[in-house]
Amino acid sequence: MIRDLQNPVVLITGASMGIGEACARAFGRRGARLILTARSAEALERVRQAVAPAEAQVLPADLGRPEDVAALAERALACWGRVDVLVNNAGVGIYKPCWELEPQQARTMMEVNFFAPLELMRRLIPPMRRQGGGTIVNVSSIAGQVALPWLTLYSASKAALNFLADGVRIELRGSGVRIVSVCPGFVKTGFPQHALGGQMPPALATRRRFAITAEECADAIVRGVDRGSRTVVTPRIGWALVWLARVFPKTLDGILARMRGPAPE
Ligand SMILES: NC(=O)c1ccc[n+]([C@@H]2O[C@H](COP(=O)([O-])OP(=O)(O)OC[C@H]3O[C@@H](n4cnc5c(N)ncnc54)[C@H](OP(=O)(O)O)[C@@H]3O)[C@@H](O)[C@H]2O)c1
């Protein structure tokens, strides 16, 4: 899709580091005009300089605050008068069982992982329809396909994002607006350290042999946008997990329980 556009305008959330930063570089290399957002203005400025000569605007916002999300959509449209690709990438995890959570932690995570993407879609789909097309990329997770018992609440937030995409995609059929769900497995970023609570179980930290780099993930995202893919699972071995969950769910439960280890007291 971006192949057909001269200098498409790409809004990327969570662009200050990790997968979002890699997306900024990858879309920037394709001649996109970038709108970069996250909380850290300083880190966004560093990314803006790194993507030069691609044109980039920096719009800091806290996606945990609904008023920031609404203002972000308006400010993004004001940059170049349109948004062609929205990459809903910002996200946070919680490595705690639900009975140990502070309710506010769960609400903040849902704001960032689900309600902020929903609000950006709500505000940007109408102008995309009026301009004749656009692409929404929701960076979900393999955890949105298979509930991971060390990231249960996070899995629920990403499953909600996938279901939102699945329904809206059909609602938008024929409008020229596409929805791509991206479901990465392990990606080598600071994501585990940035969690709102808890820690990755120690047994898992050593099992990251299928981990990909943020750059590999970003390349898969750009390819998914180009092809108008429905769902991108990266690395592709993740499809085996999705299949196992659908066909032999009890077997997978046992495997995941062994990977998780005993639940904390
Ligand atoms: N890494 C993995 O293994 C993995 C696997 C599957 C899916 N994912 C998904 O990929 C996406 C990117 O994750 P990552 O691995 O790149 O993680 P990361 O390195 O921790 O980056 C997260 C990004 O989100 C931004 N962010 C966090 N909270 C925010 C808030 N309240 N408001 C605005 N921006 C906020 C951060 O910027 P600031 O701190 O500057 O705000 C940062 O740019 C997430 O949706 C994550 O769920 C990651």
Point out the ligand 1 atom lying closest to the alpha carbon of residue 63: 32
How confident is the model over 107-155, as pLDDT tens digits? Answer: 999 999 999 999 999 999 999 999 999 999 999 999 999 999 999 999 9
- Which pLDDT score, from 0 to 100, does residue 207 have? 67
Query: Which CATH number belongs to the domain containing residue 118 in this structure?
Result: 3.40.50.720
Provide the mean pLDDT of the chain.
95
Largest Cα separation within the chain, whole Å, is: 56
1, part of any domain: no
Band of residue 265 on the pLDDT scale cut at 50, 70, 90 = low
265, part of any domain: no
The H or E element that residue 234 is part of is strand 231-234
18, part of any domain: yes
Report how far ligand 1's centroid is from the alpha carbon of 11 (Å): 15
Query: Is the model's pLDDT at 70 over the cut of 60?
Result: yes
C-alpha closest to that of 140 among 108, 114, 105, 177: 114
169, part of any domain: yes
- Which pLDDT score, from 0 to 100, does residue 5 have? 72
201, part of any domain: yes
Pick from 39, 48, 108, 207 the residue to mutate for probing ligand 1's pocket: most ligand atoms within 8 Å of its CB.
39
Residue nearest to atom 1 of ligand 1 (CA): 187
Active site residue 95: no
245/163 Cα distance (integer angstroms): 17
- Which pLDDT score, from 0 to 100, does residue 18 have? 98
4, part of any domain: no
Point out the ligand 1 atom lying closest to the alpha carbon of residue 187: 3
Structure tokens at 242: 């999705």
29, part of any domain: yes
2, part of any domain: no
- Which pLDDT score, from 0 to 100, does residue 6 have? 81
- Which pLDDT score, from 0 to 100, does residue 1 have? 54
Query: Is the model's pLDDT at 2 over the cut of 70?
Result: no
The count of other CB atoms within 10 Å of the CB of residue 156 is 19
Cα separations in angstroms, 104 against 108, 186, 207, 241: 6, 26, 31, 31
Question: In which domain, by residue range, is 44 found?
Answer: 9-260
- Tally the domains of the chain: 1
Point out the ligand 1 atom lying closest to the alpha carbon of residue 184: 6
